[in-house]
Chain A
Amino acid sequence: MNKAPWVFLGVLFTLSLSWWGMVYGPASQLAGQSADKGDGTAVLPRVGLAKQGEQVYRENGCYYCHTRTATGGEFGYELRLSQLGGDREITDEVLGKKVTAENTRLINLAFEFKYVVAAKKALDDASKALTDAKEKVQELKDAVVVAKENLSDKTASFKKVKADVTENITAQDKKDTILFEAYGLSGVEIKDKALMIELGMGEQIIDEHRKIANEAIIKLTDGKAQWSDIEDMVRGLKTRAGAQFKLQPVVIDWPDVQNGVALRQSVTRDFMHDTYAMPGVMRLGPNLANAGGTPALADSNQFYVHLYQPRLINEESAMPPYRYLFRKVKLNAGESVPDNALKHADLEEDYAIIPTEKAEALFEFLKSLRTDALPEAPIVENQKPADDQ
């Protein structure tokens, strides 16, 4: 420590460690980040006015009072089974004893749908083979008879299970709901009208029932389960049972989501196309991570009036007015107010307040700020009140 060159080299080396970790590492990791969302869509860059608006936001130093960062929080998983696989035994083994009695009955009915459809397909195949056959006709006739008996058995079994499931239900619409939920969960498609009537589905599936079938899910967990609790079940459903499901994060304690600030946590890809990333310093004003998704920006006039004179919208607002982003034009007698002029009862009469291009650009930029779903940051649902569940 008595030779300056050594101290100099030591300083260079020591500083390079934090430089490596905080500058080079992230710059190289994030430089290769893909815009692809994995579903055929991509995180798109801002263009036009919204792009210009980013510069207006920077020029005015808006990032000192507004953040664009939604923080993370505590959440659990709601495991939503949307379609059953083909093997009942494996499905039962994977699901274990975690399924409620009510859902078990629904699963039973869904599998009955599968059995009936399988039996119907076997009958159709046998009938077709008989029609096409030129030899071994008797043998094929016997097969058709067996297939018919099998279908009959399966249909009877279906009816029995259906009766069991709807035993204590009197309202027809509730019975229909259960029937079509099971139909949707089974993943099968029945087109034979006779069979549909036989199964109690009606001659034709009406839109309401189709909607029930399409949206049918079974909640295997209550939204408080952690990954470690459900990891085995998720892997089993995917790799062994062949079921279709969705892992929905649900809020346990997540203030930014519960307060409507954002729909999910902010991540690096939210800033990937920014010319200058401005995550923000303080929340003196609202967090703008999902500004484009809030009702405040649904009405452009409301936004412009707020920007022009915040106290016209909220008397206690501490936001300074940005009047220099507007043109104030004196109206001649009889002259009508331009369409794009601000509309508010407390604005000066005989004048039209017109947003400049910078104000319009800022509006477009704010509208472009959204926390839409990304694979690495799915939208987190709020816990529904108990009576909604």
Chain B
Amino acid sequence: MSESRDNIASEAAPEEINASCRWPVMFLFFSAALWLVKAAIIGVMGSAKLHVPEFLSDISFLTYGHLQANAWVAFLFGFGGNAGLGLTLWMLSRLRGAPLARPGFVIAGTVLWNVGVTAALVGITLGDQNGVAGLELPVYAGRVLLIGQAFIAFSAILTYFSRRHKQLYPSTWYLIGALVALPWIVGTAHWLLAAAPVRGAAQIPVGHWATTSLLQVWLGCLGLAAVLYFTPKIIGRELFSRQWAAFGFWMLLLLGGWVNLNSGSPLPVWQIKLSQFANGLFIFVVIAVGWNLRQTARGVPLLGSENLTLKFMGFALGAWVVSGLFTFCNVFPEWNAILQFTYANTALRHLFAWGFFAMAMLGGIYYVAPRLLGADLDWPCGRTVRWVYRLIAVGVIIITLAGVGMAWDHGQALQQIGVDAMTLQTKAIKPMRIAFLGEILFTVSSFIFLGSLLCLLSRNCCGELSPMALWRQIREAKMEGKTEGGAQ
């Protein structure tokens, strides 16, 4: 009787779970890698315009604004969506101890999702963006994305309920949070900013809520779910405290949509003050998550570890903490007043997107992808993947230091009286020109990652029929032929 009430089915073997996830999740991962390359290339093209204003200037759809919007949409929905949903499905399956349910829905959802992202990029290129920097989804693209996510979420929900488990690991909370947050945020942005836009002035707070929530809540939940899952798993310890994890989780959801509103925004004062208050409270999120993971990994140097996934997670955690501290700094209006119209906001977005989120996702994919394709597999040319980590880490550090340090100089010049326009322009562009180096490193790293993934797939995707195995067989046959010929 008791057993039937608890209904705890036996846990599926990891191999069975990996096999169920293999094609849908690999499809998501591969799409993510492709979008990461596109996002990085488009970003570099945009930044190149700051060095050479004439670059591609006669093509109306390749303006700096178009390229910036496309680069971010490709990263956020292309890479972030695919990688985040892929890891969500795998982690949910593993945490529930159940194979992925209805993988066909995931594949259909992934196709739709990628169609949606492609439509968004085409739409932005044609000038259909909604003008909300950071969330410029054309109306038709938003609909396709929502339907695609619904397909994938359907599979995730069935997977979740296919087996009861006595305790939910904290990563599961974050994954549920991300699954709920995405349609809510994209839906709100779709209806209130694109399909039936609210009155002009009201679009500013709505747009801010949507862009900030996507970053802090959606990407934040996905990234932290991965960090909370992989870090204790790899070092072989229990998470230090569920209470700290719960506190950090609810505070993140509570504050994520409020923070980082510019003090000079043309909005009612109460909103700006509330945002400043939320920025102040955000320090508790940083402490709760950071302290919990620090205690969990006490004595283990994450960044100095030999395990690459642990390195990725360590850097991701560090970047998230630094980003959180910058968010906290916005509690001081004087600080925000200096940086609000400078490159600093973009640089800090790079810190969050590449330093935290991409690192967490790439670390997760690095761990998961070989396991999906077969037991005891490892990355071919494993050392090259280390360069992905190194290049992104260096790129993030360059962009953050240049972005915040030099942007501070620009911000101070904006606050002075009588600084001429050319001096202001020089100070504004200087951090962006340095950050260009970081973007080049991102591009190289994204190519390496895509190449590594292709290599992994081609080597292991079909057992003895994989392209690499076939090539190896042909090569061996040739060598044997030569040897036999020589012997004769």
Contact = CB atoms under 8 A, between A and B. Distances in A.
Interface in B165-209: 166-168, 172-173, 176-177, 180-181, 184, 188, 192-193, 197-209
Contact of B131 (A22, A63, A323, A324): A63
A15 B204 contact: no
A31 B425 contact: no
Interface residues of A, number: 74
Given A22-B257, A318-B425, A318-B429, A69 B266 contact: yes
A12 B266 contact: no
Given A65-B64, A255-B414, A316-B422, A283 B257 contact: no
B264 A61 contact: no
A163 B213 CA distance: 73
A384 B60 CA distance: 46
Contacts of A67: 341
Contact of B53 (A72, A265, A272, A320): A320
Interface string A260-283: 000001111111111111111111
A59 to B, nearest CB: 3
Q: For B176, B213, B341, which residue has the most chain A Cβ atoms within 10 angstroms?
A: B341
Nearest to B252: A14
A139 B45 CA distance: 99
A323 B176 contact: no
A376 B343 CA distance: 31
A1 interface: yes
A67 B424 CA distance: 14
| Interface-centre pick from A26, A33, A281, A311 (highest chain B CB count, 10 A) | A26
B79 interface: no
Contact of A14 (B193, B198, B250, B264): B250
B209 A18 contact: yes
B8 to A, nearest CB: 13
Interface stretch (A2-10, A174-182, A336-344): A2-10
Interface in B8-60: 49-50, 53-55, 57-60
B342 to A, nearest CB: 6
Interface in A271-324: 271-287, 310-311, 314, 316-324
Interface in B405-431: 414-419, 421-422, 424-426, 428-429
B3 to A, nearest CB: 18
A35 B345 CA distance: 33
Interface string A7-44: 11011101101110111011101110100000000000
Contact of B197 (A1, A29, A269, A276): A276
A22 B208 contact: yes
B58 A4 contact: no
Interface in A46-90: 58-65, 67, 69, 71-72
A283 B266 contact: no
A259 interface: yes
B246 interface: yes
Interface string B145-167: 00000000000000011000011
- The CB with the most chain A CB atoms within 10 A, among B202, B262, B342, is that of B202
Contacts of B253: 11, 14-15
Contacts of A10: 250
B428 A22 contact: no
B268 interface: yes
A166 interface: no
B239 interface: no
Nearest to A257: B417
B342 A282 contact: yes
A157 interface: no
A268 B415 contact: no
Contact of A1 (B173, B181, B258, B425): B173
Contact of A283 (B192, B255, B342): B342
Contacts of A30: 198-199, 201-202
B246 A1 contact: yes
A21 to B, nearest CB: 6
Contacts of B242: 1
Nearest to B274: A21
A192 B416 CA distance: 56
B314 interface: no
A324 B57 CA distance: 8
A258 interface: yes
Nearest to B50: A318
A323 B166 CA distance: 65
Given A281-B345, A282-B341, A22 B271 contact: yes
A31 B266 contact: no
B130 interface: yes
B53 A321 contact: yes
B53 A319 contact: yes
Given A33-B199, A276-B197, A320 B266 contact: no
B267 to A, nearest CB: 6
Contacts of B54: 320-321
A278 B204 CA distance: 8
B358 interface: no
Contacts of B241: none
Nearest to A316: B422
B44 to A, nearest CB: 16
Interface string B203-219: 11111110001000100
B337 interface: yes
Given A22-B257, A274-B200, A281-B346, A321 B428 contact: no
B201 A14 contact: no
B127 interface: yes
Nearest to B242: A1
Contacts of A8: 176, 180
B65 interface: yes
Contacts of B341: 67, 69, 280-283, 287
Given A61-B129, A324-B59, A277 B176 contact: no
Contact of B267 (A3, A26, A62, A282): A26
A328 to B, nearest CB: 11
B470 interface: no
Residue in A15, A18, A321 whose Cβ sees the most chain B Cβ within 10 Å: A18
Contacts of A266: 264, 266
B180 A61 contact: no
A317 B422 CA distance: 8
B417 to A, nearest CB: 5
B425 A23 contact: no
Nearest to B127: A59
A174 B199 CA distance: 55
A255 to B, nearest CB: 5
Smallest CB-CB A-B distances: 6 pairs: A61-B65, A18-B257, A274-B200, A59-B127, A71-B264, A276-B131
Given A11-B253, A18-B255, 6 more contacts: A2-B167, A4-B172, A23-B188, A58-B127, A255-B415, A316-B425
13 contacts: A1-B246, A15-B213, A18-B209, A21-B257, A23-B192, A255-B414, A267-B266, A268-B201, A272-B199, A278-B133, A281-B341, A320-B49, A321-B53
Interface of B: 49-50, 53-55, 57-60, 63-66, 68-69, 127, 129-133, 160-161, 166-168, 172-173, 176-177, 180-181, 184, 188, 192-193, 197-209, 213, 217, 242, 246, 250, 253-258, 262-268, 271, 274, 337, 340-343, 345-346, 414-419, 421-422, 424-426, 428-429, 432
